[in-house]
């Protein structure tokens, strides 16, 4: 009886969005009378940072500071349609819709500015600080605040735009079954090191090293935050979480948070996160969906590490001490 | 059921309410007094989201009857910022990106505050121990641990 060490590796590809009856998301953008920009979405920020990223995307497209953008995730009765906040699709789908809407709004904004400055709209550029200026002659400029006031009260223009991003449904080819269920994949690889107690069946995670390829990280700190939490969640899926921990009698199953196991702050593995950025072809500014995929590679990596440590294949999750011990017993029985 | 009078100090100001006997402090704070910073997660003392500070001790407001708090000095996360200036813990949680969905954050801050009030220069193990009664689903805990350590470092630099 001993504590045995093992190391496992696993790599995954993870699609961004999904392929049901087509995967659409809409966005609407309009300026307020004072030149702030309102983005209306039905997509939801549930802590992953959707509002921040959409504000960055809109601000970058229109050419204003991020704090001039207001994100309203409204509700699904009144907002423009979104398929939903799932499948790691928010940044990619809603982001593309916001770009399209913001481009249209920017064009109207430049047209109004052109009328005010008595120049051609195609000769104008934004300075990113809230002003519009003539290319090559920045002294000839107007604030976006004044442009919005003019549009509202003088020119009768709505500085607004409509955005729609759709990944059409992909049908399998009849002969081969080949299809294109997603246009964009994130990738990840984890190396995990564990200690397995072959007397108690307990698995302790010593280290996880994760590499994530997530397209362009539109907000690197928030991406890191997502990946650190996701890596922990992957370990949690692999070793702890189940609604039926008390085999074989379902009546003894968990009923609340206190019976649903997750690793606490005292159970953390040493965690390393490396981000690779290979911009996607069809993502907003090259983004992919880093959300769900970051909690996946730890699971097979840990199963492999357990195999490396004690020579048993656990093929059901979570990898509980009971399952490890039963497998060891079966192995000993030969 | 008979209503009972309760008086206590909440974040420095006097509060007096008539409450149903048996009301939890969490319910009284959120639904009677209007301080929604303590969160109701499990309502059975497991998740720590409802943590508040009563007379300097970390308490679970979902397991504390409001009527037992007569004369108590109660502090919640809503009282951390002063005059629009964030408390160092709040600043550190922002700087360390230690919050995602935010539901556990007020309880985490209360647990951290009690730790730092007693142990201004905690070790990592001290922080882990102090946060061990609070459940977080998003962050993986590491950013929260780092935020508390960051607060301690900032406090000791300010004191020096």
Q: Are residues B18 and B65 in the same domain?
A: yes
**0.90 exceeded by pTM:** yes
User: Using omega within 30 degrees of 0 as the cis cutoff, is the peptide bond preceding A318 cis?
Assistant: yes
Final residue in a domain of this structure, among B30, B59, B79: B79
**What is the overall mean pLDDT for chain A?**
94
Q: Are residues B99 and B128 in the same domain?
A: yes
Report the run of H or E that residue A260 belongs to, with start and end: none
Q: In terms of residue numbers, what domain contains B129?
A: 88-159
Give me the pLDDT at residue B159, please: 77
What 3-state DSSP class applies to B151?
helix
Q: What is the Cα–Cα distance from A48 to B144, expressed in whole angstroms?
A: 16
Q: Are residues B72 and B92 in the same domain?
A: no
What's the rounded mean pLDDT across residues A174-199?
A: 95
Which among A258, A265, A271 is the nearest to B128, CB-wise? A265
Q: Are residues B75 and B98 in the same domain?
A: no
DSSP string over A143-156:
EHHHHHHHIIIII-
Residues of A in contact with B122 (CB under 8 A): none
A159 dihedral zone (left: phi>0; alpha: psi -120 to 50; beta): beta
Q: Are residues B10 and B60 in the same domain?
A: yes
Quick: pLDDT tens for A85-141.
999 999 999 999 999 999 999 999 999 999 999 999 999 999 999 999 999 999 999
Q: Are residues B141 and B92 in the same domain?
A: yes
Does residue A195 contact residue A201 with C-beta atoms inside 8 Å?
no
Tally of domains in chain B: 2
**CATH, domain A23-167, list 3.30.930.10, 3.40.190.10, 3.30.365.10, 3.30.950.10:** 3.30.365.10
pLDDT above 90: percentage of residues in chain B:
94
Domain ranges of chain A: 3-16+182-333, 23-167
DSSP string over A13-30:
EEESS--SS-EEEEEEEE
User: Using omega within 30 degrees of 0 as the cis cutoff, is the peptide bond preceding A50 cis?
Assistant: no
Which among B41, B129, B139 is the nearest to A229, CB-wise? B139
Is residue A242 very low, low, confident or very high in pLDDT (cuts 50, 70, 90)? Answer: confident
Q: Are residues B71 and B133 in the same domain?
A: no
Q: Are residues B58 and B117 in the same domain?
A: no
Contact state of B140 with A233 under an 8 Å Cβ cutoff: yes
Final residue in a domain of this structure, among B22, B53, B79: B79
Residue of A nearest to B131 (CA): A265
Give me the pLDDT at residue B160, please: 67
Q: Are residues B100 and B75 in the same domain?
A: no
HSE, side-chain direction, 13 A CA sphere, residue B96: 25
CATH code of residue B145: 1.10.150.120
The interface predicted TM-score of the complex, written ipTM, equals 0.89
- Residue B141 scores a pLDDT above 70: yes
Report the run of H or E that residue A39 belongs to, with start and end: strand A37-40
- In DSSP terms, B82 is beta-bridged to B85
Q: Tell whether A264 lies on the interface with B, counting CB pairs under 8 A.
A: yes
What burial letters (b/e) apply to B89-118, b meaning 16+ CB within 10 Å?
bbbbbeebbbbbeebbbbbbbbbbbbbbee
Q: Are residues B64 and B37 in the same domain?
A: yes
Which among B46, B142, B145 is the nearest to A257, CB-wise? B46
- In DSSP terms, A141 is beta-bridged to A133
Contact state of A233 with B143 under an 8 Å Cβ cutoff: no
Give how far the C-alpha of residue A173 lies from the chain's centroid of Cα atoms, to the nearest Å: 30
Which among B47, B101, B139 is the nearest to A46, CB-wise? B101
Contact state of A258 with B44 under an 8 Å Cβ cutoff: yes
Q: Are residues B30 and B59 in the same domain?
A: yes
Q: What is the Cα–Cα distance from A180 to A281, expressed in whole angstroms?
A: 15
Using alpha carbons only, give the angle A174, A178, A179 rounded to the nearest 5 degrees. Answer: 105
Q: Are residues B72 and B97 in the same domain?
A: no
Residues of B in contact with A48 (CB under 8 A): 100
Report the run of H or E that residue A40 belongs to, with start and end: strand A37-40
Tell me, yes or no, if the two domains A3-16+182-333 and A23-167 fold the same way. yes
Q: What is the Cα–Cα distance from A129 to A118, expressed in whole angstroms?
A: 22
Cα torsion through B28, B33, B39, B42, rounded to 10: 20
**CATH, domain A3-16+182-333, list 3.30.365.10, 3.40.190.10, 3.40.50.300, 3.30.2130.10:** 3.30.365.10
């Amino acid at each position: 009886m001993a504590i045995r060490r093992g190391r496992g590796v696993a790599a995954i590809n993870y699609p961004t969005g999904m392929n049901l009856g087509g995967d659409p998301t809409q966005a609407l953008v309009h300026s307020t009378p004072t030149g702030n920009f309102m983005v209306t979405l039905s997509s939801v920020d549930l802590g992953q940072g959707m509002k921040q990223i959409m504000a960055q995307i809109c601000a970058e497209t229109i050419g204003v500071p991020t704090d001039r953008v207001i994100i309203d995730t409204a509700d699904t009765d009144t907002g423009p349609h979104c398929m939903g906040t799932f499948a790691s699709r928010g940044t990619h789908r809603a982001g593309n819709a916001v770009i399209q809407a913001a481009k249209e709004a920017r064009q109207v904004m430049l047209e109004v500015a052109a009328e005010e400055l008595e120049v051609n709209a195609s000769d104008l550029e934004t300075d990113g600080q809230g002003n519009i200026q003539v290319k090559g002659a920045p002294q000839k400029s107007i604030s976006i605040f004044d442009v919005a006031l003019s549009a509202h009260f003088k020119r009768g223009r709505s500085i607004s735009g409509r955005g729609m991003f759709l990944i059409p449904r992909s049908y399998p080819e009849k002969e081969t079954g080949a299809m294109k269920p997603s246009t964009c994949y994130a990738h990840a690889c984890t190396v995990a090191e564990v200690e397995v107690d072959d007397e108690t069946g307990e698995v302790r995670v010593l280290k996880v090293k994760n590499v994530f390829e997530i397209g362009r990280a539109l907000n690197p700190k928030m991406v890191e935050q997502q990946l650190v939490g996701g890596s922990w969640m992957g370990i949690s899926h692999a070793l702890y979480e189940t609604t039926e921990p008390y085999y074989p009698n379902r009546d003894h199953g968990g009923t609340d948070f206190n019976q649903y196991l997750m690793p606490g702050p005292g159970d953390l593995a040493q965690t390393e996160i490396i981000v690779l950025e290979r911009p996607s072809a069809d993502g907003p500014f090259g983004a992919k969906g880093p959300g769900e995929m970051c909690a996946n590679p730890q699971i097979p990596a840990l199963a492999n590490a357990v195999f490396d440590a004690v020579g048993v294949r656990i093929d059901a999750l979570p990898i509980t001490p009971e399952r490890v011990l039963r497998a060891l017993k079966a192995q000993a029985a030969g | 059921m008979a209503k009972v009078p309760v008086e206590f100090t909440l974040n420095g100001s006097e509060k007096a309410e008539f409450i149903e006997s048996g009301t939890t402090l969490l319910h009284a704070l959120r639904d009677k007094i209007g301080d929604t910073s303590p969160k109701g997660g499990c309502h059975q003392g497991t998740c720590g989201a409802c943590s508040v500070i009563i007379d300097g001790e970390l308490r679970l407001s979902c397991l504390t009857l409001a009527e037992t708090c007569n004369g108590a000095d109660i502090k919640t996360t809503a009282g951390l910022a002063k005059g629009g200036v964030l408390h160092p813990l709040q600043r550190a949680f922002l700087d360390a990106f230690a919050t995602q969905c935010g539901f556990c954050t007020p309880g985490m801050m209360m647990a951290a505050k009690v730790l730092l009030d007693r142990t201004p220069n905690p070790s990592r193990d001290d922080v882990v121990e102090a946060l061990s009664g609070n459940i977080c689903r998003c962050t993986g805990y590491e950013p929260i641990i780092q935020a508390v350590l960051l607060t301690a470092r900032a406090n000791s630099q300010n004191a020096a």
